[in-house]
Amino acid sequence: MKKHFLITAGPTREAIDPVRYLTNRSSGKMGYALAGAAAHEGHRVTLISGPCDLDVPEGVDFLPVESAKEMYDAVEHYISKTDIAIFAAAVADYRPASVPEQKIKKEADSLTLELVKNPDILGSARKKFAFTGTLVGFAAETENALTNARSKLVRKHCDLIVANDVSRSDIGFDSSENEVTLVYPDHELKLPKENKYQLALDIIEKSLEINALR
């Protein structure tokens, strides 16, 4: 049966002043592959993406955003209309506490930025947005990948966490391939290293399996 997917992708940008921003590493390849694969399989897809230099996959409803707050608002607006939500975006966890209207002059030898926490979009899906569909998160880890992924699965009330090791240069950020472990509430499944489109097809299939059991 055809489903409606919501997918987040890419980095977010958090303004420091009118000409500078903080961001996270992410090319968007993983999220766009998920959107493209789901659309290719005939599902409806809403792709909410931070700034990426990629073509939007055919047949996808596309919503470009910049900041974590904008991504939060877009997800809040659309998630209740969808069956399966997959959060592949690398959201900036913090943003500058205030953003001056004018460019900061480089007069001082050092500069301290005060940062405040951004909303946790995935963590809001169940409690704040009351989403009852299938919830899939990613965990980008540099150590203790499976322990941290399992902790995210529980804390964020997900059905599945896709754990990837972003300390490796041949997978994860920017690369065309990824090697992940799927962390379920009661078991784990390690997938082989594969290109992001093939991996996306696998993740879509596993999400549909979970959705069928609900």
* Binding site residues, ligand PMT, CB under 6 A: 8, 26-30, 68, 87-91, 93, 118, 120-122, 137-140, 152, 164, 166, 172-174
DSSP 74: H
* Residue 53 burial (10 A CB sphere; 0-12, 13-18, 19+): exposed
- Closest contact distance (angstroms) between CB of 123 and ligand PMT is 7
**Catalytic residue among 24, 118, 164, 178, which?**
24
Give the CA distances from residue 40 to residues 25, 59, 200, 204, in Å, rounded to whole numbers and listed in that order. Answer: 27, 8, 11, 11
| Least distance between ligand PMT and beta carbon 152 (Å) | 6
Q: Give backbone dihedrals phi and psi of 26, rounded to 5 degrees, phi first.
A: 180, 130
Residues 65 and 60: their CA atoms lie apart, in Å, by: 15
Cα–Cα distance, 183 to 189 (Å, whole number): 7
Q: How far is the CB of 127 from ligand PMT (least distance, A)?
A: 13
Q: Residue 57 or residue 172: which is nearer to ligand PMT going by CB?
A: 172
Residue with Cβ nearer ligand PMT (96 or 104): 96
Residue 213 Cβ vs ligand PMT, minimum distance, rounded to whole Å? 21
Structure token digits, residue 86: 């997959």
Q: Is 178 a catalytic residue?
A: no
Using the minimum distance from each CB to ligand PMT, give the nearer residue, 6 or 91: 91
Closer to ligand PMT by CB, 104 or 129: give it: 129
Which residues are part of the catalytic machinery? 24
